[in-house]
Structure 1
Amino acid sequence: MNERARREAQGRRGEALAALYLGLKGWRMLARRVKTPRGEIDLIARRGKTVIFVEVKWRASAILLDQAVDPWRLRRVAAAAEAVAHRYAKQGDLVRIDVLLLAPWRFPRHLENALVA
């Protein structure tokens, strides 16, 4: 398996674990791997009147997670979310961009409302 395929497989596993984790916290998955001309959204979930657009990052070690998400990447997720929010959010819903950081043998770190102006 080449490096790109290995990373793709790791990313899919990370997204599946993130979806499971969010499901256990009461979130209902609305979509996975939504591609838009502005970028890709890993997960879209709803709990009550809140819809989250989630960037999932999997790293081989917890130390590497601190550099996994940068402002540029969050702006891309926000732009992609803006392009499709009308499909998932209803009038009056709270919409936010969250990040879920995963590493082996570590509890997931859920950064709520990660994109704050």
Structure 2
Amino acid sequence: MGTDESRRRAEAFGLAAEGWAVLLLRAKGWRILERRLKTPLGEIDIVARRGRTVAFIEVKARPDLAAGMLALQPRQQQRLQRAAALFLARQPRYAEGHDLRFDLVVIRPWRWPVHIADAWQVDRVWHPRRDRAN
């Protein structure tokens, strides 16, 4: 199997995992704002809102929960944080009056997906209105 073929299979598997994550989130009452949001600073798998909470959600398809959590390295977290800041700059209505967090959904074979709220903490997400004066 060539590199292009394995890349296509990985892409298809990733899309399917994100689809399962979306179903789980919708069942839990989340409204999906964006899927596969590509920015110059990074990609966010899912941006969702429920009530006053906006979550930037990374989806990992792994054999078990521990592997899914380990797959989210600090460097990737930083890319997601920068992409989230750009999203908020472009969509300031979600920055004001909303709680912001970073979640993880782990998709495991033949098991229910696991949604981990506040999978990692950041000191602060750049806020377009608050930081404009600084």
TM-score normalized with structure 2 length? 0.80
Deviation of 1:90 (Å): 4.5
| Residue 104 (structure 1) aligned to one of 92, 109, 133 | 109
Evaluate the alpha carbon distance shift between residue 83 and residue 90 of structure 1 in structure 2; reply closer, same or farther with a 3 A threshold. Answer: closer
Correspondence for 2:28: 25
Cα displacement (A) at 1:73? 1.1
Tell me the equivalent position of 1:89: 94
Structure 1: 5+ residue runs without aligned partners?
none
Question: Partner of 1:16 in structure 2?
Answer: 19
Q: Distance in 2 between matches of 1:55 and 1:83?
A: 16
Shift of 1:106: 1.8
* Pairwise CA distance, 1:112: 1.2
Q: What is the Cα-based RMSD across aligned positions, in Å? A: 1.6
**Retained in 1: the 8 A contact 2:20–2:113?**
no
Larger Rg: 2
Is the 8 Å Cα contact of residues 55 and 102 (structure 2) preserved in structure 1? Answer: yes
Match of 1:80 among 59, 79, 83: 83
Instruction: Identify the structure with the greater helix proportion.
Output: 2
Residue 6, structure 1, aligned to residue 9, structure 2 = yes
Taking the aligned partners of 2:12 and 2:104, their CA distance within structure 1 comes to: 19
Quote the offset at 1:102 in angstroms. Answer: 0.7
**Distance in structure 1 (CA, Å) of the matches to 2:69 and 2:53:** 26
Identify which range, 21-30 or 88-97, moves more after superposition. Answer: 88-97
Report percent identity of matched pairs. Answer: 41
- Where in structure 2 are there 5+ consecutive unaligned residues? 123-134
**Greater than 3 Å deviation, 4+ residue runs:** none
TM-score (norm 1): 0.91
CA contact (8 A) 2:55 2:100 kept: yes
